């Protein structure tokens, strides 16, 4: 099931806001600042995403590791993309 996405043009300040926003809006817990696993517990199950962030290149790579069956990958990727766009200006 693992699918991946790459997002570009994310300044370090925007990356910080992305993490803070997803933590406050969705309860997402990040294991580290630049590389690790982000876990979000929803009423229908857990979402786990592995991520890396390269501050020099402004690139974040995400891999969807686990999701509830009732949530579509598209919905998850759209939420991640919207959060990144909100803070990176894209």
What strand order describes the sheet that includes 3-7? 3-7, 59-66, 45-54, 35-42, 29-30
pLDDT reading at 31 higher than 80: yes
Q: Within its chain, how far is the Cα of 26 from the centroid?
A: 11
What percent of the chain has a predicted confidence (pLDDT) above 70? 98
Q: Which domains does the chain have, with CATH numbers?
A: 3-88 (3.30.310)
Who's near 67: CB < 8 A, 6+ residues apart?
1, 45, 46, 47, 48, 73, 76
69: which DSSP letter?
Answer: T
pLDDT tens per residue, range 37-69: 999 999 999 999 999 999 999 999 999 999 999
pTM for this predicted structure: 0.91
């Amino acid at each position: 099931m693992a699918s991946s996405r790459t997002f570009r043009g994310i300044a370090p300040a925007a990356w910080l806001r992305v993490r803070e926003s997803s933590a406050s809006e969705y309860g997402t817990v990040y294991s580290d600042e630049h590389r690790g696993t982000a876990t979000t517990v929803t009423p229908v199950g857990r979402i786990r995403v592995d991520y890396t962030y390269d501050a020099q290149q402004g690139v974040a790579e995400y891999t969807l590791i686990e999701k509830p069956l009732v949530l579509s990958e598209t919905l998850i990727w759209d939420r991640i993309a919207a959060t990144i766009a909100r803070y990176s200006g894209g």
